[in-house]
């Protein structure tokens, strides 16, 4: 009697059915809102037996989760800070960087707003609060409403670095959860200005500003002042399912097609 109970208990513990592998991807909203979910869907459709879990709250999340071991792949729209790299070395690990593609940060305004071109200096002025009215930029008078991403976003940081000489955002900026939300708000506000990944600049009612005379288009990726790389990160060299997925997502032809379709530029 006792033995059977014990055996049953043993059977409960030892059961064998191991399900398929699972890749947990966390980090940037720029990558995680559109590109990676679609890569995932295509990857599974291509016959790969893998489970995915994707959370896209911001690039900082990539590093904290990789470090805590709660993600296999981190997505980031900025490169890792020294401090973040250090925290991995401090644990005897290595943060490995994989370039996922290129992105341009498009500065967008409402289509009804006549301002079409801005210099990087002007953009810095707008987002740091030195310039507060559209009339200063050649437009019709109106208080500028600026929309930025929330602080954990890699775009928030990249933009600060590329366009704002690392100065802090004006407290007047409104922090929104994602690219899509910025696009929606700017499209509905004549005096709005914001920045989004190139993939989101095509929405109706938006105009992508020419920065220093260069418009954000894939072919201008070298000259456009606000272009940047997008990254996948892994703790140590990737292995197994993660490696296979990364290789596919970066180098395969169907993946490149998807990357282009969602508005990014695949690595050559």
Partner 1 sequence: MAKHFQRTGRKLLGIDRQGWIKGFFGGNATLSIIILFLICFFLITEAVRFFPQHHEKLQLHRKSGQEYVNHIITEMNEYSQLVSLTNQAYFQELNEKYALQRGISNSFEAFLDPLEDDGEDLIEALEDAEDDPEALAQAQADWRAFVSGVVEGANRADIDSFGRLDDASWAALKKAMIDYDPVEEEPPAYVTQAQQELRDGMARFEEAKNEISSAGRELKQLRQKLVKIASKVKDDAAAEESAAERKKALLAGAETMTNEAEKAAQIEQANAIVIRDEFPFAARTEEIAASKDAHKAAVAELKEKLGIAVAKLPTELSSEEASALLDQVRKAHPPFVKWLDESVAKASTWQWDRKLSFFGSAMKFFFGVDWVTNSSWHDFYGLLPLFIGSFEISLIAIMFAVPFSIGAAIYVNRLAGRWEQTLIKPAIELIQAIPSVVLGFFGIVVLGEGLRDLSQIEALSWVPGFPMQERLNVLNAGLLLALMAVPTIFTLCEDALNNVPRAYSEASLALGASKLQTVIKVIVPTAISGILAAVLLGFGRVIGETMVVLLVAGNKIALPDWSAGLGVITQPTHTMTGIIAQEMGEVTKGTLHFRALFLVGLVLFTISLCINVAAQRIIKRLGHA
Partner 2 sequence: MLEESKNPFVASSNRQKIIDRVWSVIFAGFTYFVLACALFIFGKITYDGAPVLFQAEAPFINFDFLFTSPQTLVEFRDGAGELVRMDASDFRSFKEENPDAVIRDEHTFSYSGGGILGPLVGTALLVIVCMIVSLFIGVSAAVYLNEYAHHGKLVGAIRLAIMNLAGVPSIVYGLFGFAFFCLAPWFPVLTYEVNPETSVFAFKVPMSKGFLSFEGWGNSLIAGGLTLAVMALPVIIAACEESLKAVPKGFREASLALGATKWQMIRTAVLPYATPGMLTASVLGVTRVAGETAPIMFTAAVADKAKLPWQEAEGSPLFWFSDLLTQSVQALPYHIYTVSARIPDADAVRDMRYGSVFVFLLLVMGFAMISIVMRARFRSKLKW
Residues that bind partner 1 (CB under 8 A): 57-58, 60-61, 64, 67-68, 82-83, 86, 89-93, 112-114, 116-117, 125, 128-133, 135-136, 138-143, 145, 150-152, 156-157, 160-161, 165-169, 171-177, 185, 188-189, 191, 210, 215
Binder of residue 151, out of partner 2, partner 1, none (CB less than 5 to 8 A by kind): partner 1
- CB contact burial 139-156 (16+ within 10 A = b; e otherwise): beeeebbbbbbbebbbbb
Q: Are 78 and 238 spatial neighbours (Cβ–Cβ below 8 Å)?
A: no
Q: What part of residues 81-110 is at the interface with partner 2 (CB under 8 A)? A: 91
Measured from the CB atom, the residue of 61 and 242 that comes closer to partner 1 is 61
Binder of residue 56, out of partner 1, partner 2, none (CB less than 5 to 8 A by kind): partner 2
Answer for which of 70, 89, 135, 236 binds partner 2 (CB under 8 A) is 70
User: In what helix (H) or strand (E) does residue 248 lie, and over which residues does it extend?
Assistant: helix 240-251
Tell me the C-alpha distance between 181 and 186, whole Å. 9
CB atoms near residue 172 (< 10 Å): 14
Binder of residue 53, out of partner 1, partner 2, none (CB less than 5 to 8 A by kind): partner 2
Instruction: Measure Cα distances from 199 to 56, 106, 130, 262 in Å.
Output: 16, 9, 29, 6
CB atoms near residue 254 (< 10 Å): 14
Rule CB under 8 A: say whether 184 interacts with partner 2.
Answer: yes
User: In what helix (H) or strand (E) does residue 55 lie, and over which residues does it extend?
Assistant: strand 50-56
Which stretches of the chain bind partner 2, using CB under 8 A? 9-19, 22, 29, 33-34, 37-38, 40-42, 44-45, 51-56, 67-70, 91, 176-178, 180-181, 183-184, 187-188, 200, 203, 261-262
């Amino acid at each position: 009697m006792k033995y059977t109970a014990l055996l049953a208990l043993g059977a409960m513990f030892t059961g064998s059915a191991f399900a398929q592998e699972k890749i947990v991807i966390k980090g940037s909203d720029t990558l995680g809102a559109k590109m990676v979910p679609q890569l995932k869907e295509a990857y599974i459709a291509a016959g790969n037996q893998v489970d995915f879990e994707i959370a896209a709250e911001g690039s900082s999340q990539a590093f904290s989760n990789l470090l805590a071991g709660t993600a296999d792949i981190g997505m980031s729209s900025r490169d890792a800070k020294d401090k973040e790299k250090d925290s991995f070395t401090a644990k005897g690990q290595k943060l490995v960087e994989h370039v996922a593609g290129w992105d341009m940060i498009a500065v967008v305004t409402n289509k009804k707003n006549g301002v079409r071109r801005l210099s990087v200096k002007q953009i810095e002025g707008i987002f740091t609060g030195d310039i507060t009215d559209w009339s200063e930029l050649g437009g019709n008078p109106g208080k500028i409403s600026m929309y930025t991403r929330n602080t954990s976003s890699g775009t928030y940081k990249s933009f600060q670095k590329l366009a704002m000489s690392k100065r802090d955002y004006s407290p007047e900026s409104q922090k929104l959860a994602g690219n899509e939300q910025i696009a929606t708000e700017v499209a509905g506000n004549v005096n709005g200005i914001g920045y989004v990944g190139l993939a989101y600049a095509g929405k109706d009612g938006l105009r992508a500003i020419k920065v220093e005379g260069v418009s954000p288009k894939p072919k201008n990726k070298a000259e456009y002042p606000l272009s940047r790389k997008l990254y996948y990160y892994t703790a140590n060299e990737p292995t197994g399912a993660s490696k296979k997925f990364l290789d596919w997502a970066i180098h395969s032809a169907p993946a490149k097609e998807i990357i282009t379709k969602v508005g990014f530029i695949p690595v050559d």
